[in-house]
Amino acid sequence: MDDITLALVADAWSRTGRVSVRAESASPGTARLRSGMPIAVDAARLDAPRLPLAPALKPLQQLDRSLCEIEQRFGAARREWVVLEMEYSDAPGCI
């Protein structure tokens, strides 16, 4: 997983105030991100929802997609709150 993508998406979803983000893996302990940086991971829970990540997207593309998913799930006002808190002035609108 790309470090920046993971950080941006986890931050955006966490800022909704309605989602808690945890790193989980089938092999709990320590995982390594694409940069080589280690990250502590808990055991995966089968019933836990997953962050919708698309490995082919660049970090800002994934953030934009996540903001639209936040809007679909929680409404435009919550998306705008997240954009404001992240100080992401270049956030495109959702279609």
Residue 22 tokens, joined: 């945890």
Domain ranges of the chain: 3-86
Q: Kindly calculate the radius of gyration of the chain based on its CA atoms and give it in whole angstroms.
A: 14
- Read off the DSSP letter of residue 35: T
> What confidence tier does 90 reach under pLDDT thresholds 50, 70, 90?
confident
pTM attached to this predicted model: 0.88
Instruction: Describe the crossing of helices 59-74 and 76-86 by its angle, rounded to 10 degrees.
Output: 140
Q: Which residue type does 6 have?
A: L
pLDDT digits (tens, 9 = 90+) for 26-79: 888 998 998 999 999 999 888 888 888 888 999 999 999 999 999 999 999 999
Please, which residues have CB within 8 angstroms of residue 68's CB and are 6 or more apart in sequence? 79, 94, 95
